[in-house]
Structure formats: structure tokens, C-alpha cells
Amino acid sequence: MENNADAQPHINPVTDHDSHRTQVNVPYDPATKHSHNDRYVDESRTRIPSIAQGGWLGIEQTPASRDEITPHAGEIHNKANESSKALNSLRAAVLGANDGIVSVAGTILGVAGADNNPHVLLIAGVAAISAGAFSMAGGEYVSVSAQRDTEKSILDKERWELINLPVEELDELTQIYETKGMTRPTAYKAAYEAMHHDALRAHALEELNIDPDELTNPWQAAISSFFAFVSGGLLPLLISQIPASFLARVSFIVLAVAFALLLTGFISAQIVGTRKHKAIIRNVVMGLSTMLFAWVIGKIFGVTV
């Protein structure tokens, strides 16, 4: 019989409930003295490294042969999770600034429709920024905290499955790699080595699309939203205090807000990869419509809104 230590088993676990063994086709391995004719092997043999050693959960991790992909000349590689999180953070910041611009400008123009006193506009603007910023931050904190709790719960469930159903989890990861174009033997080898290095991380990334080392941070999201809203709201507030005629101040606010909305619409479209002119038009029209509505309400009722 020809030795074939490097060949990988074609695994399709079927549990024998009488003997508590798993049926696996295993090629001959001189280290274990098993051959193709050994139809049954102890289930514990498929749990390499052993649970007692903590291998499945990466407690005693096998060093990876490579930490990063080396780009060729003229190419830059970014880790997918870091790039994704950076884009999400940037998108949240842009949307927060956009909300600040529209909310505060709408409030100031609504108040201006009833009273054009600069001091009154200042008070209204500061109140709008304060309430809006804390509201945005609180909402982001609650939302992201719920997301983080969900991610932790999913990881806990996956950790339990790795401890109690290691064979099934190995086969599951093998199937995931097969869907990416690998042959069954190659997929099994890749799954085996990935789980030998860090089983939880391998399944979290491939199966759950979660990076266990980079869970969402509610405080970071809350602080980012707070300052993004404030930065956006300061624009119409500062312009409302320009020493000029009432009509000039209103005109400056409208023009500045329109330009700012054009910019945030462009950045948002750039981030998500949509058509820029549609995003810009939609953003500017909705923002100006909000300010017009607030102005009309202020004129009709003569009260702050």
C-alpha cells in the first residue's frame, strides 16, 4: 500500500450511535497506522487539536504562517474588516453632520419666521444643537449596544457548538470553503488548518461575518455622532449671528446649507458607491424643503418650532 501522509480525508461525518464513533474515509497515515480500510475511527480522533488543549477555541493558538498579504508593486491592501469599519464610521459621521445641518438650520429659520432677533436665533440654535447632539449620541449608544450584545450572543452560541459539536463544525466550515470553489479535500484541509489556528475566529469570520476581535463599540459610535451633529449644526448657527441685515443672514444660511448638503451628499454617494448626482440632488432638495417648511410654520403661527 502506498504511503500518503499528506492526503486529506474526504470527511462526511455519520455518527454510529451504538459505538459512538464517526464514520470517516481516512487515507493511510504512518503516524497513526490507519489506512483506507479503517472505516471507523474514534470521534475524538477527528477533534485534533483536542478540546482539552483548547485548540478549537484558539486558547493555544498555532502561529499563522503569515499575518498579512504582501502587496505587489503599485498595489495597496487593506484588511477587509478594518476598511469596512472605517467606511461605516465615516458614513455615520457624514450622516450625523447632515442631520445637524438640516435640523439646526430648520430650527433657526423656523424661529426667524416668527422673530428675527439675533439673540433669539442664537438661543434657538444652541438649544437645537444641544438637544439634537445628545439625542443622536444616545440613540447611537442604545442601537450599537444592542448590536454588540447580539454579536456576543451569537459568538457564545458558536463557542458552545465548537465545544460540543466539533465534527459538525469542521464539516460546516469545509462546506463553506467548498462554496468558494475549493474541492472537498482542499476545503477540508483549509478548514482543518483554520480551526487548528483559531476555530472561533475562523467560524466567526466565514460563517457569521463577525470579527471577534473588533466588536462594535457603542461609546465610539455615540461620541462620533455627538461631535458630527455639533459640527454640522454650528454652520447655520454661526451664520445666523453675522452682523448683516435679516434678509442677508437668511440668504447666507440657505446658500451655506445648500453647499454643505451638496458636499455631504457627494461624500455619502462616494462611500456607498451610488450615482453621485442623484444623491446630491436628493440631499439638497430634502434639506432645503425642511428649512422652507419650518420657515412657513414660523410665519403662519408666529411661534418657534
Average the pLDDT over 151-171 and give the result.
Answer: 87
Q: How many CA atoms lie within 13 A of 126 on its CB side?
A: 7
Q: Cα dist. 99→125, 136, 139, 281 in Å?
A: 14, 9, 13, 16
pLDDT at position 133, please? Answer: 93
How high is the mean pLDDT of the chain?
73
Residue 144: pLDDT above 70?
A: yes
Is the pLDDT confidence value at 42 over 70?
Answer: no
Q: What is the mean pLDDT of residues 117-136?
A: 91
Q: In this predicted model, which residue has the larger pLDDT, 64 or 229?
A: 229
Residue 87 confidence (pLDDT):
63
pTM: 0.63
pLDDT digits (tens, 9 = 90+) for 175-197: 888 888 888 888 888 888 888 88
pLDDT grade, residue 86 (50/70/90)? Answer: low
200/190 Cα distance (integer angstroms): 15
Can you give the pLDDT at residue 303?
52
Residue 7 reports pLDDT greater than 70? no
- CA separation, residue 250 to residues 113, 129, 237, 295 (Å): 10, 18, 11, 10
| Pure H helices in the chain | 80-112, 118-164, 166-178, 184-203, 218-240, 246-272, 276-301
Question: Could you tell me the pLDDT band of residue 40, with boundaries at 50, 70 and 90?
Answer: very low
pLDDT at 193: 86
**pLDDT on residue 195:** 86
Residues contacting residue 249 through CB under 8 Å, at least 6 positions apart? 118, 239, 240, 242
Q: Name residue 201's amino acid.
A: R
More confident of the two residues 126 and 245: 126
Query: Which one is predicted more confidently, 40 or 246?
Result: 246
What's the pLDDT tens digit per position in 248-290?
A: 888 899 999 999 989 888 888 887 777 888 888 988 898 889 8
φ, ψ dihedrals at 10, nearest 5°: -90, 100
Q: What is the pLDDT of residue 190?
A: 87
Quick one: what percent of the chain has pLDDT higher than 70?
A: 70
Task: Please check the confidence at residue 12 and state whether its pLDDT lies above 50.
Answer: no
What local confidence, expressed as pLDDT, does residue 168 receive? Answer: 86
Written as one string, the DSSP assignment of 142-161 is: HHHHHHHHHHHHHHHHHHHH
Q: How confident is the model at residue 233 (pLDDT cuts 50, 70, 90)?
A: very high
Which of 62-66, 85-89, 95-99, 252-256 has the lowest average pLDDT?
62-66
Q: pLDDT at position 248, please?
A: 87
> Percentage of residues in the chain with pLDDT exceeding 90?
13
The residues, ordered by sequence, that sit 6+ positions from 171 with a Cβ below 8 Å of its Cβ are 11, 12, 13
Task: Output the pLDDT for position 304.
Answer: 45
